[in-house]
Amino acid sequence: MTPPMDNLKSMNSYVSDIVGKAVMGTFDTMFGRSVTSARTGAGIKPPQDGEICSHVSLTQGAQLNVEFSFHFDETLLHRIAEETYPQQARNMPLQMICEDMACAIANVVGSRVKAFLNGRGYDLSMDIPGVGGLDGQAEAGRSEQSHLSFRCAPDGQDNAVFVNIHLQEKRAG
């Protein structure tokens, strides 16, 4: 049974906070790289050229979807791959390593959001993160969309990472 979702906007705020902390912590822990939150905005930020994208979805049957798409500056991920995985970078296509990194970040962040929401009475399952963006097809029901942008230190590169968040409470149809 789904707990009452009286305020999807409030849920989006909590999820955005968890996503922000998880992205910053994941970059620090996995890659020894500092990213800081640059800004938050309403709606979905469209993809741009020169990005590597991944996505993950949380679902609770036909009742709730929580979808994330992660967009990483390709140059940033290439540098991190060469620094963090130098042996693999010499033996495997760099694009493949970067896509694996993008999916690993989606997995960590999605898992943290899932644990948070399930700890508050939801019963969400998570799909396996994939490469590319989400199709963005909305179904009938209430929804909230937002995006977070991150700056990469020390060079201060804006939009080094951004995450689109789409929460949707579905209605039986």
Indicate the average pLDDT of the chain.
Answer: 86
pLDDT tens-digit map of 92-129:
999 999 999 999 999 999 999 999 999 999 999 999 99
Counting the structural domains of the chain, the total is 1
**pLDDT value of position 141:** 67
152 part of a folded domain: no
* Residues of the domain holding 129: 51-133
Contact call for residues 12 and 67 (beta carbons, < 8 A): no
**pLDDT value of position 3:** 45
What ranges make up the beta strands (E) of the chain? 35-42, 51-60, 64-73, 125-126, 130-131, 141-152, 157-170
97 part of a folded domain: yes
Kind and range of the H or E run holding 103: helix 94-118
Residue 89, burial from CB neighbour count under 10 angstroms (0-12, 13-18, 19+): middle
The single-letter code of the amino acid at 40 is T
